[in-house]
Amino acid sequence: MPVDYVIVGAGSAGCALAGRLSEEPDVDVLLLEAGEDDRRPELRIPAAFPSLFQSDVDWDLRSEPEPGLGGRELYVPCGRVVGGSSAINAMIYIRGHPLDFDEWARSAAPGWSYAEVLPYFKRAEDNERGEDEYHGVAGPLAVSDSRSRHALTDVMLAAAVEAGHEPNGDFNGPRQDGVGRFQVTQRDGYRWSSADAYVRPWLGRPNLDLQSCALVERVVFDGQRAVGVEVVSGGRRKVIRAEREVILCAGAYQSPVLLMLSGIGPADELARLGIPVLEDLPVGENLQNHCLALLNFYTTENALFGIDTPRNRARLETQGAGPLSSNIVEGGGFFRTRPDLPAPDVEFHFSPALFMNEGLTEAQDYGYSFGPIVLKPTSVGRVRLSGTSAGDKPRVQFNFLTTDDDLRAMMEGVRVALDIARQPALKSVERAPASVPESASDDDVRAFVKRVAQGVYHPTSTCAMGSVVDPELRVCGTEGLRVVDASVMPSVTRGNTNAPTIMIAEKAADLILGRPPLPASRPGEGARSA
């Protein structure tokens, strides 16, 4: 059977793109995924997501020693399963700040301003709160309020308000600053991955085929034109031809790996591994990610600990609620550490659970954790090859907190956290500190940050628009090849990255099918033609 589009990677973007392209009945779409089409309950139960760390649905990468964090190597989770990282993530629904997209459009990506991307966020969305100028209700991606509503999250938010931070009921609405509960990508209290949204409902379409356990090794070229992919599946190696395009949706770590294995990348890096150069491009460079430093406290109250009980499983099944419906990171906030900033530079995550050692050690007590994320990092890293197979784990270096700006923002964020921790609301439920700085002094805060800071799983920009792909996501210097995933972001958004990645796939579907873009619209200004 001829295939028009071969999509590599059934993650957040790959599923959304496959679902949208296959809406056209005369177009055949093949979606290839290295992981399994796994339906185990832990992939649906929101509070179970940390149990998926370092499991067989995780690529389980490690960073190189991080120079800004005392040479520590960080754990780097990444979904390897149908649904990709959206099947193992914390389900927080955040789009980013409007300025992110306006900066993209100005710097490297005309056509991707906030007014131009907002209609695609709305097209993706099925928000249970209803429709308005910021939100949609007719899309495949279920967005809902958390059913868990843990009381400790309310205590943390109350303490933040006591510390002077404004409440915010919708971080994806008119204002990002403030504190509140996150909306989540869940339906009826269960995870709603990109596969649940865009692929599983449409597997009956005759023009959509999903092949799991299929590891793509490289793109096959005829001259500069991509004509297919080489794939290993069931122990057999074969070439699958694409009549129209090959589209890489393998994520910000693996899409650059696949390009480099196909001869597209920095010439010196390819020469190191003896890979003939087809196109010399800065693939894998400009890796951006968010860095997080969590404070942990033991509490006198009930927290998310020991919650996997038959009673709680029954509550989730019958009511779609209870502690197992918690995405753990239930609340958060966005702050500016300097008044002159045009947008927040720090995000907070609040969890009614302990979260230490990058989540790799299971909590053994009742507690809560919260802390800052450097939202607009200036430190950049790199993804490099470690071998000549797509199965070889890439070398990943973030260079977290290696610039003065990033370290300053993180240290200010920790001081904001210490201020929230000493407010009456939180003091009334605190039993003892579990992991905090010795004091608010520069030395103690810096030492704490270097000891506990970790990645927060938002890698982007390794095949960025403007340097590796053009604004229509075509790989420069080639034909018939695009990248559509978090790697094409010119810079990481101010927020969690699942929603903007799905937005990218929504917009890419129109670009690929040659449809006119949705009319641009900025709330308050009305719609205008693109």
Ligand X SMILES: Cc1cc2nc3c(=O)[nH]c(=O)nc-3n(C[C@H](O)[C@H](O)[C@H](O)COP(=O)(O)OP(=O)(O)OC[C@H]3O[C@@H](n4cnc5c(N)ncnc54)[C@H](O)[C@@H]3O)c2cc1C
HSE at residue 257, side-chain half, CA atoms within 13 A, is 23
The answer to whether 512 and 4 are in contact (CB under 8 A) is no
List, in sequence order, the alpha helices (H) in 262-343: 267-272, 310-319
- Out of 20, 44, 80, 165, which residue is the one contacting ligand X (CB under 6 A)? 80
To the nearest whole angstrom, how small is the minimum distance from the Cβ of residue 229 to ligand X? 8
C-alpha distance from residue 45 to each of 42, 83, 302, 386 (Å): 5, 14, 20, 34
Q: In the bound complex, what is the minimum distance in angstroms from residue 392's beta carbon to ligand X?
A: 10
Size of the site for ligand X (CB under 6 A): 42
Q: What are phi and psi of 258, to 5 degrees?
A: -65, -40
**Coil, helix or strand at residue 485:** coil
Closest distance of CB 423 from ligand X, Å: 26
CB of 28 to ligand X, least distance (A): 18
Binding string, 213-252, against ligand X, x = CB under 6 A? --xx--------------------------------xxxx
* Minimum CB–partner distance for residue 428 and ligand X (Å): 29
Burial of 178-211, coded b for 16+ CB within 10 Å and e otherwise, reads bbbbbbbbbbebbbbbbbbbbbbebeebebbbbe
Measured CA to CA in angstroms, residue 301 lies from 153, 180, 220, 365, 520 at distances of: 11, 20, 58, 11, 48
Region 480-519 residues binding ligand X, contact defined as CB under 6 A: 485-486, 496-499, 501
78 interacts with ligand X by CB under 6 A:
yes
Is residue 287 part of the contact set for ligand X (CB under 6 A)? no
Q: Which residue lies nearest ligand X, judged by its C-beta?
A: 11
Amino acid in the structure at residue 59: W
- Note whether 381 and 397 are within 8 A (CB): yes
Token pair for 456: 């927060």
Indicate which single residue of 19, 46, 68, 79 sits in contact with ligand X (rule: CB under 6 A): 79
Q: Would you say 100 or 485 has its CB closer to ligand X?
A: 485
Please state, in angstroms and rounded to a whole number, the distance separating the CA atoms of residues 504 and 473. Answer: 10
Which residues in 85-104 contact ligand X (CB under 6 A)?
85-86, 88-92, 94
- C-beta of 421 vs 486, nearer to ligand X: 486
Query: Shortest CA distance to 349 belongs to which of 291, 404, 434, 399?
Result: 291
Angstrom distance (rounded) from CA 322 to CA 315: 6
- Residue number with CB closer to ligand X (369 or 501): 501
Q: According to the binding rule CB under 6 A, does residue 288 interact with ligand X? A: no
Query: Shortest distance, CB of residue 25 to ligand X, whole angstroms?
Result: 25
Q: Footprint of ligand X on residues 9-38 (CB under 6 A)? A: 9-14, 32-35
Give the residue numbers marked as catalytic. 458
**Residue 141 lies near ligand X (rule: CB under 6 A):** no
Assess 77 for contact with ligand X (CB under 6 A). yes
Residues of this chain that bind ligand X (CB under 6 A): 8-14, 32-35, 77-80, 84-86, 88-92, 94, 215-216, 249-252, 254, 258, 390, 457-458, 485-486, 496-499, 501
